[in-house]
A and B are shown apart, each in its own frame.
Chain A
């Protein structure tokens, strides 16, 4: 995710989506969906909501192709505790579903939703610690 070519490509997606303002618009909707989703909200129980929302924002920024410095290792470290708690593909799928639904709600065209989803998808193995 950090190589130069990919960043150049992603920046354009980020701009087409509307940049930081688009992330701001999406993060509240997305986070509400995530914590109301009984398939995954047990992973968020007892966690500081503000810190969690900030992380969701960092995640969306990355998925939107925006500026970030996350590496695969960061993703692994950040989710290791959740993997121990049983985080698996079904939970990852649920997050992607909420992401797609958020973008639909914001009337983002299907083609761009697909681009965002594929960036998010590319973190799957790191998030699940494989």
Chain B
């Protein structure tokens, strides 16, 4: 007999019993619906232990890689500590190692944590401000190449957390953060599958991490990045990306401007429109979408209709433009 830990409590799972049945038997309330492995409502994640492969049937590769499983199919073979996919790991203390303006309203923040954070480029962490407001920021860094966690924080009008980061935070300060979370990252394998990366605003952060992670893993199919903004001031890391594109035949970079008239070497239009016009058939492509929620939603829809499989479309519902509404 094995046991699972959920919500700070251990539960026994009888032979031939599923994780879902065991939790429901004990009166624990967890989401579920079809109970036959199709609807994915009962998805959980193992923080320790490994779920059996049968319990990961039909999940996206990114989810499998992070030990997600379906509770209604999972007959555990070993003890596991499980959480709901949206549960945040406990907070850790971090020090601001470096602050570097990238554009008029985007600053690069490098954090080092007391306890190492095991993450994949493109995932996000949640940062807590002194007045206990938390905001999620995507990781632009690659653990094998960069020291610390690198975030791109855009200053938003009236944004209390982004305002604090831009105006008050100094190198050497400490803060609390937790994570990582998110399923928008590169999974090694299938190196000949072309990659399409579309981002707006600071949605470039996760894509910058994903891009370098894919190159580092020896991805050998085309990798095309479309970064969009209303006007030229909203684009950043342009030099780095142009140099990368000039030196690596696999990578191609298209900055897109939707508002002002596009100067040479820029495309005119919204990033996802430019991308989907340029690449009309997305059958077989792997796609990453980061940025404005509306863009992500439209691009996902259009990419699916253009032939991409939903399992190959990665987007981060929280790594949107971090719209602060307070």
Q: A76: CB under 8 A from chain B?
A: no
A49 and B301 form a contact (CB under 8 A): yes
Q: Which of A53-61, A87-95, A98-106, A118-126 forms contacts with chain B?
A: A53-61
Q: Lowest 7 CB-CB distances: which A-B pairs, in order?
A: A58-B38, A69-B35, A58-B39, A54-B40, A67-B36, A58-B34, A61-B38
Query: What residue in chain B is nearest A74 (Cβ atoms)?
Result: B33
A57 and B38 form a contact (CB under 8 A): yes
Which chain B residues numbered 295 to 324 have a C-beta less than 8 Å away from chain A? 297, 300-301, 304-305, 309-310, 317
B38 and A54 form a contact (CB under 8 A): yes
CA distance A31 to B308 in the complex (A): 12
CA distance A66 to B34 in the complex (A): 12
A68 and B36 form a contact (CB under 8 A): yes
Q: Which B positions have Cβ atoms within 8 angstroms of A?
A: 33-41, 57-58, 297, 300-301, 304-305, 309-310, 317
Contacts of B41 in A (CB 8 A): 54
How many whole Å from B85's CB to the nearest CB in chain A?
12
Contacts of A57 in B (CB 8 A): 38-39, 58
B310 and A53 form a contact (CB under 8 A): yes
Q: Say which residue of A32, A48, A67, A78 sits within 8 Å of B304 (CB atoms).
A: A32
Interface size counted on chain A using CB atoms at 8 A: 26
Q: A51: CB under 8 A from chain B?
A: yes
Query: What residue in chain B is nearest A47 (Cβ atoms)?
Result: B297
Contacts of A23 in B (CB 8 A): 38
B39 and A49 form a contact (CB under 8 A): no
How many whole Å from A92's CB to the nearest CB in chain B?
20
Contacts of B305 in A (CB 8 A): 32, 35-36
How many whole Å from A121's CB to the nearest CB in chain B?
20
B301 and A35 form a contact (CB under 8 A): yes
CA distance A54 to B156 in the complex (A): 35
Given contacts A46-B297, A49-B310, A54-B39, 10 further A-B contacts (CB under 8 A): A32-B304, A49-B301, A49-B304, A50-B310, A53-B310, A54-B40, A57-B39, A58-B38, A61-B36, A68-B36
List 15 A–B pairs whose Cβ atoms lie within 8 Å, in order of A's numbering: A28-B309, A31-B310, A35-B301, A48-B317, A49-B310, A50-B40, A51-B40, A54-B41, A57-B38, A57-B58, A58-B34, A58-B39, A67-B36, A68-B34, A74-B33
B34 and A69 form a contact (CB under 8 A): yes
CA distance A32 to B36 in the complex (A): 23
Query: What residue in chain A is nearest B59 (Cβ atoms)?
Result: A54
CA distance A23 to B58 in the complex (A): 11
Query: What residue in chain B is nearest A24 (Cβ atoms)?
Result: B58
Contacts of B34 in A (CB 8 A): 58, 61, 68-70
CA distance A36 to B297 in the complex (A): 15
CA distance A61 to B309 in the complex (A): 19
